[in-house]
Structure 1
């Protein structure tokens, strides 16, 4: 999303206003990660979604996780993202860094189970 530390200091009110403007212009797909801004990007996106309850179902979210060293870390991070983003499910959830091969099946099974509920 680019509203965190990558480009220097950011102003939450300006970031929320930009998200609002984007939604009003028909942009409804927002991409983030639990590590962007040390989690601040997801928090900001969660605040935006909470402020737009009437349009909640129109907002499409993609978010990512970083390096996961154990299956329980993956599930915990997914749960945390769901809570922060006020979602029952995330449209696209993926890893942006190398994932240890032995956890790929566990990640796929957990994600599939989440998407079915």
Structure 2
């Protein structure tokens, strides 16, 4: 059984990836946060499965593409985040994000 899980959040800029992670950790909504938050590690004793959980934020900016690809390849689970207030971010899931992840040869669970 795996002793750690690496969860990666990807999605277009401004959809709320960093906000989701910060809200999870702080247990409240924080309006002003940095563009990409540092990796969060949840210790095993806090999870029902008793595994260490790493939650990793990413940037979709073109200048960060190499780092994004590295993180996608290291992920055990990928969460693609989109904004309900911007339908274009949802429309890009099948035309950009899913093909992009597949093009990297990654075969892990994907959560929307």
TM-score (norm 1): 0.34
Of structures 1 and 2, the one scoring higher in RCO (CA 8 A, sep 6+) is 2
Indicate the structure with greater helix content.
1
TM-score (norm 2): 0.35
